[in-house]
Amino acid sequence: MKRKSSIVLNLVLIFAAMMILGSFIPLAQAEMSLFAKSRAESFAMLGEVPKPKPGFRMGVVLVTLSNPYWVSMKNGFEHAAKEFGITMDIQAAPQENSTTAQLNILENMVAKGYDAISVHTITAHNLIPGLVKAQQKGILTVASKRVDLKAAREAGANPIALGLVDYYTQGKIGARYIAQELAKKGGGKVAIIEGLPGAPQSKDRREGAQAGFKSEPSIKIVSVQPANWDRNKAFDVTNGLLQAHPDLKGIMCANDIMALAALEAIDRAGKRGKVMVGGIDLIDQARQAVAQGRLTCSVAFSPFVIGELVTRTAIAAYGGKKIPENLRVISVLANKDTIHLLKDWK
Amino acid sequence: MYISPYSRKEKIYHRISRFQRPGLLIFLFLMGAFFSLLSPYFLTWENFTNILVQSTVLIIAGTGMTLVIGTAGIDLSIGSILALSGIVMASAMKAGLGVFISMTLGVFSGALMGLLNGLGTARLGISAFIVTLGTTGIYRALALIFTDARPIYGLPRQFRAIGIDSIGPLPISVALTLVVVVLAYLLIVWTPFGINIRSVGNNMEGAFRMGVPIRWVLIGVYMISGATAALASIVVTARLNTAEAIAGLGIELEAIAAVIMGGTSIFGGEASISGTLLGALIIGTLANGLTIINVPSYYQQLVIGIVFILTVIADRIRRREAKAF
């Protein structure tokens, strides 16, 4: 009897264990796509968006559509417009340096009188006269933080300024990952390749990378060099770094283009796999390189979600909601462990 | 009985050749009607002033270009002159010089750059296309070197008024443009210099034999073109409250298009300021109207390109038919 009951007990226990394990399996299989996750987290920072009034009209002025980054953002705007059922017109300047043309477009849109206008300015100042006109007409404006806010306020415009992309954090999470991986093997010397010296985006990513490396005491930054976002320059800089520091263990680059060039230079020097390289932006080539294990990591952030979040912000602000200070789109680390979760990243 | 010195055929020729500008005017009105049918936002006072203000830069730069093309020349460097002269006047203001003095300095620097173009063409005898292509690079590079590619920002309120304020209903930039256009018109129609421009463009050899000071005419038109580029720069710089090395990129092509649309022949001998004015207004109205009816920017460039080619074809047909008489 006793034995029988213990068998029954064992069976019950085994069954229970299987149930518990089984309930975990679907969870493991449905590991959430990082795009959906970071999108949801980004939206959560803004919180509930009130329903827009019927016939809400929003205008969007982008930099240019001759660049996939802005096209992806445009898609995000359109997606959000559909989701909330609002009317949206999107315009962009012909080229990345058409400052006057962009101002003309904004002024023409102001003449059409929207409920809200979102602008992504080419320079810190070129759209300010248009923002002033919008303010005078009572149009709600949402601008990227690139706008010189002090100058805008002096001129009589007070846009909601969003700095949705946290370049500092991007540099930091990439460098921190490299630092942690290297620390497991005893640490060593690392270098940073930054973009255009003086450009805010480059400066933020560089400082982030410095902070990321410093998080591990066994890591020593031996050099910080600019390569102007340029493939050729990065190739030459990497060659120089390898010459000067034969025992270099890692390089964090301020974008993927430069990181891929660094990989080329490392291959050429016959040091394939001996130097860890990180980039930022997760462009297609970088995605492949991470999947192949050549590129140690990249950092992804989504222009699509920026478009969506700006639309949500405009609707929320129009509905009288206070916009949180540090609204952000979440940047995500892409490495060999997470790359399969980034397939639907856009 | 009065007997006209012209034959009937010649009279018809004159009538047809005068038709180009009314044709452009009719086209402009049709375009306006088209856009106002498609959007209630087109035909408003606010949008009307938008079109005028947005066309000022092209009109001012176009007047200088009209004179140059009138001599069968070309000036590709006006975009670079616009950028560099803007930087000159902005730096002067930043250095504490008065607004008026700084603007004068800017215009003089533009004229000086034009003078170099003129000397290259008239004295060295290099084709205008090559000289100005070279100086385009030189002036743009100087602008970049001088500013280190950083914009000069934050100019005095008095100066910015040119870009944003109005005298009554008339924006100051539009008033300035009107003055430039009227002066250029008078220059071409009433002065010996204007007649010389057309004779140089028509037949340089003939003009030379008739005693036209060809070199001075050429140097003069390139100086004027440089000065108008600098005047256009005043409007751009005041509007954006910024002088930057990338200002005016591609303006030369738009200005040439406006001049050619206006009926000035690329081979010289004619110079129609009123035509250039209409050409520039057509380009400005197209860009504005297409934004108002929400056509994406790619298609805008497509439409402007097609309209340009069509007007030139219309002009060609006019000339050929006129010749047939």
ipTM: 0.83
Contact B151 A100 (CB under 8 A): no
What are the Cα distances from residue A217, in Å, to A176, A187, A193, B314? 11, 8, 20, 75
* Share above pLDDT 90 across residues of chain A, in percent, rounded to a whole number: 68
Backbone angles phi, psi at B156, to 5 degrees: -60, 150
Task: Give the pLDDT confidence score for residue A26 in this predicted structure.
Answer: 47
Contact A100 B242 (CB under 8 A): no
Does residue A7 fall inside a structural domain? no
Q: Where are the alpha helices (DSSP H) in chain B?
A: 8-17, 20-38, 45-70, 78-94, 99-122, 128-147, 157-164, 172-190, 192-202, 204-209, 214-240, 251-261, 273-292, 297-324
- How close A336 comes to chain B (CA, Å)? 39
Q: Are residues A102 and A221 in the same domain?
A: no
Q: Are residues A159 and A249 in the same domain?
A: no
Strand, helix or coil at A79?
helix
Contact A94 B244 (CB under 8 A): no
Task: Give the pLDDT confidence score for residue B18 in this predicted structure.
Answer: 52
Q: Mutating which of A58, A100, A136 best tests the B interface, going by the most B Cβ atoms within 10 A?
A: A100
With vertex at residue B312, the alpha carbon angle to CA B308 and CA B313, rounded to the nearest 5 degrees, is 115
Give the residue-averaged pLDDT of A58-63: 95
Is residue A27 very low, low, confident or very high in pLDDT (cuts 50, 70, 90)?
Answer: very low
pLDDT tens digits for range A173-217? 999 999 999 999 999 999 999 988 877 888 899 999 999 999 999
- How close A253 comes to chain B (CA, Å)? 24
What is the span of the domain harbouring residue A296? 167-300
Chain A residues whose beta carbon lies within 8 Å of the beta carbon of residue B43 = none
Cα A238 to its chain centre, rounded Å, is: 25
Cβ contacts of B167 within 8 Å, gap of 6 or more: B175
Domain of residue A54, CATH code: 3.40.50.2300
Does residue A242 fall inside a structural domain? yes
> Running DSSP on this structure, what letter comes out for residue A297?
B
pLDDT tens digits for range A224-244? 999 988 899 999 999 999 999
Say which of B50, B239, B298 has its CB closest to residue A65: B298
Contact B240 A125 (CB under 8 A): yes
Q: What is the pTM of this model?
A: 0.81
Contact B44 A111 (CB under 8 A): yes
What type of residue sits at position A339? Answer: I
Q: Are residues A317 and A274 in the same domain?
A: no
Looking at per-residue confidence, does B267 or B235 come out higher?
A: B235
What type of residue sits at position B47? Answer: N
Please tell me chain A's helix, strand, coil percentages from 3-state DSSP, rounded to the nearest 5.
50, 15, 30
Reference B258, options B228, B296, B216; nearest CA is: B228
Is residue B14 very low, low, confident or very high in pLDDT (cuts 50, 70, 90)?
Answer: low
Task: Give the pLDDT confidence score for residue A343 in this predicted structure.
Answer: 84
Does residue A29 fall inside a structural domain? no
Does residue A28 fall inside a structural domain? no
- Could you tell me how many CB contacts below 8 A there are between chain A and chain B? 83
Task: Give the pLDDT confidence score for residue B132 in this predicted structure.
Answer: 96
Chain A residues whose beta carbon lies within 8 Å of the beta carbon of residue B236 = 100
Based on the structure, what is the number of domains in chain A? 2
Q: Are residues A65 and A78 in the same domain?
A: yes
What are the Cα distances from residue B206, in Å, to B69, B74, B139, B210, B211? 18, 20, 34, 6, 9
For tokens 């000086």, the residue is B112
**Distance between CA B231 and CA B223 in Å, rounded?**
12
For the cut 60, the answer to whether the pLDDT of residue A290 exceeds it is yes
Contact B247 A99 (CB under 8 A): yes
Average pLDDT for chain B: 90
> Running DSSP on this structure, what letter comes out for residue B1?
-
**Binding-site residues on chain A for chain B (CB distance < 8 A):** 64-65, 89-95, 97-101, 103-105, 107-109, 111-113, 123-126, 128-129, 132, 148, 151, 155
Contact B151 A123 (CB under 8 A): yes
Does residue A161 fall inside a structural domain? yes
CB A269 within 8 A of CB A244: no
Does residue A12 fall inside a structural domain? no
Q: Are residues A144 and A51 in the same domain?
A: yes
What type of residue sits at position A232? Answer: N
Give the residue-averaged pLDDT of B52-57: 95
pLDDT tens digits for range B207-221? 888 888 999 999 999
Cα B104 to its chain centre, rounded Å, is: 20
Contact B246 A99 (CB under 8 A): yes
For the cut 70, the answer to whether the pLDDT of residue A34 exceeds it is yes
Q: Are residues A292 and A172 in the same domain?
A: yes
**Distance between CA B256 and CA B276 in Å, rounded?**
9
**Distance between CA B264 and CA A148 in Å, rounded?**
43
Contact B153 A124 (CB under 8 A): yes
Say which of A91, A129, A148 has its CB closest to residue B239: A129
For the cut 50, the answer to whether the pLDDT of residue B105 exceeds it is yes
Chain B residues whose beta carbon lies within 8 Å of the beta carbon of residue A105 = 291, 297
Reference B139, options B249, B65, B232; nearest CA is: B249
> Which fold, B45-324?
ABC transporter involved in vitamin B12 uptake, BtuC (1.10.3470)
Strand order in the sheet with A140-144: A87-93, A57-64, A116-119, A140-144, A160-162
CB A62 within 8 A of CB A92: yes
**Distance between CA B213 and CA B149 in Å, rounded?**
41
Looking at per-residue confidence, does B295 or B75 come out higher?
A: B75
Contact B50 A111 (CB under 8 A): yes
Contact B44 A104 (CB under 8 A): no
Looking at per-residue confidence, does B18 or A161 come out higher?
A: A161
For the cut 80, the answer to whether the pLDDT of residue B272 exceeds it is yes
Task: Give the pLDDT confidence score for residue B13 in this predicted structure.
Answer: 55
Does residue A27 fall inside a structural domain? no
Q: Mutating which of A89, A98, A112 best tests the B interface, going by the most B Cβ atoms within 10 A?
A: A112
Instruction: Provide the residue count of chain B.
Output: 325
Task: Give the pLDDT confidence score for residue B243 in this predicted structure.
Answer: 94
Is residue B9 very low, low, confident or very high in pLDDT (cuts 50, 70, 90)?
Answer: low
**Distance between CA B243 and CA B240 in Å, rounded?**
8
Does residue A92 fall inside a structural domain? yes
In chain A, what's the furthest Cα-to-Cα distance? 92
